[in-house]
């Protein structure tokens, strides 16, 4: 299965959204101390990078 650049960016976006949701869920439900804020912040960062990957689709 040959994948072009847009396909790779699409899969990377999907994977990063799933990981971001997982990190936010860890921060919200598993860790209720200060570490939870760190997990949630990293999850939001994953969303930001996924947004950039999605914006790059069709331009590379």
**Distances from the Cα of 7 to the Cα of 25, 26, 37, 40, 57, angstroms:** 27, 29, 33, 28, 8
Number of domains in the chain: 1
What local confidence, expressed as pLDDT, does residue 16 receive? 93
pTM of the model: 0.79
Using one digit for the tens of pLDDT, what is the confidence trace for 5-38? 888 888 988 999 999 999 999 888 888 788 888 8
Beta carbons of 24 and 48 less than 8 angstroms apart: no
Give the residue from 14, 4, 25, 3 showing the smallest Cα distance to 51: 14
What local confidence, expressed as pLDDT, does residue 19 receive? 93
Domain that holds residue 37: 5-56
What local confidence, expressed as pLDDT, does residue 15 receive? 92
Q: Is residue 60 predicted with pLDDT exceeding 80?
A: no
What local confidence, expressed as pLDDT, does residue 20 receive? 92
């Amino acid at each position: 299965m040959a994948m072009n650049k847009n396909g790779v960016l699409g899969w990377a976006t999907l994977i990063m959204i799933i990981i971001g949701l997982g990190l936010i869920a860890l921060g919200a439900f598993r860790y209720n101390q200060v570490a939870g804020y760190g997990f949630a912040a990293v999850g939001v960062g994953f969303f930001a990078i996924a947004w950039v990957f999605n914006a790059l689709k069709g331009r590379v």
